[in-house]
Amino acid sequence: MKARIHSPTPANLRRLASVLRRGGLVAIPTETVYGLAAHALDAQACRAIFSAKGRPANDPLIVHVLDLAHAEELADFNAEARKVARRFWPGPLTIVLPKKPCVPDIVTSGGPTVALRAPAHPLARKLLALAQVPLAAPSANPFSYISPTSAAHVQQGLGSRIGHILDGGNCVVGVESTVLDLTHPARPRILRPGAITAAQLEKVLKRKVSTKLRPVKSNARQLAPGLLEKHYSPRTPLRLTARPTGATKQTALIFLRQPVGKSPAHVYWLSNRGALDEIARNLYRVLRVADMGGYREIQLEKLPATAGGLAAALHDRMKRAASG
């Protein structure tokens, strides 16, 4: 039986909020990607997330809250964490902090810290307000596969494993949130780059933010989601290259911007003009289309070394997608 895709009517939002309060699963839209949500303080409900996704227990969940006041019920905030939360919430920033005892160990993979964010998507916020509980919500896809940026993507991947999907349209950011570790406020570090950049965070914190990412072993407890070397990956072998070229139609070619002239069916592009925000918004969608095209290989054009802003997040996702 396929999951039902719900339109965002007031009656449906109330119904889905009730499902979440009772310990059920609902795939929800956020501005980054779609998440598979459950009552974050219900350990059994959170276990169902791991089961539906095939997610290993050492990979913790991000907990979504409505605002800073609700977040402070779940974690010990320091002054620096309050600064960035007030500046960037609601938005695509996740903050890692020492957890409070009310947060179940399944959410944090048994660790002492919890990852928190307040999403900006209006439907995610309405559900949080109606459910009146925090929501644990990793990406709504089979573990390590390409993240979903539409309700149809969720149904393709998890449609037979969950019952409910809230349709909120296409995600406007398209890549997962920035994860900022502020467990030691004097040494802030980005664990996963996203739409909120190190430069933006440094401007608020008035100090250097580390962006050095350390490799994470697959069997080790992770501090936050999205740190494994292989992640966000198509099933078709993917190769990053400065200039995609293919002698046959068995290779899908994905360019950063639309090529000049008429393009054959195996040629794709992420942006009409090469804009980073458009590339981010379309990356996972185009990877999915190519992955379902029956190709033997996918070649994806690398970003130029001079690219800034969202480039760090895009470099990270492309590298992990190609690591398989």
Domain positions in the chain are: 4-74+98-174, 238-322
Q: How many CB atoms lie within 10 A of CB 87?
A: 15
Residue 156 Cα distances to 2, 137, 147, 160, 165, angstroms? 9, 18, 11, 9, 11
Mean pLDDT of 57-62: 95
Q: Could you tell me the strand order of the sheet in which 297-301 lies?
A: 238-241, 297-301, 251-255, 267-269
Nearest-angstrom CA–CA distance, 44 and 21: 12
Mean pLDDT of 242-261: 88
Nearest-angstrom CA–CA distance, 297 and 246: 10
User: What's the CATH code, domain 4-74+98-174?
Assistant: 3.90.870.10
With 90 as the cut, is the pLDDT of residue 219 above it? Answer: no
Highest mean pLDDT of the ranges 177-186, 246-255, 260-269, 296-305: 177-186
The per-residue pLDDT for 55 is: 94
The per-residue pLDDT for 212 is: 87
The per-residue pLDDT for 260 is: 84
With 70 as the cut, is the pLDDT of residue 30 above it? Answer: yes
The per-residue pLDDT for 324 is: 64
The per-residue pLDDT for 232 is: 87
Cα dihedral angle (194, 200, 206, 212), rounded to 10 degrees? 30
The per-residue pLDDT for 269 is: 97
> What's the pLDDT tens digit per position in 121-170?
999 999 999 999 999 999 999 999 999 999 999 999 999 999 999 999 99
With 90 as the cut, is the pLDDT of residue 247 above it? Answer: no
Nearest-angstrom CA–CA distance, 22 and 191: 33
For the chain, give percent helix, strand, coil, nearest 5: 30, 20, 50
The per-residue pLDDT for 207 is: 96
Written as six digits, the tokens of 284 are 């996972």
> What's the pLDDT tens digit per position in 87-124?
999 999 999 999 999 999 999 999 999 999 999 999 99
Written as six digits, the tokens of 128 are 């949080």
CB of 94 within 8 A of CB of 62? yes
**What is the pLDDT of the chain when averaged over all its residues?**
94
Nearest-angstrom CA–CA distance, 263 and 258: 9
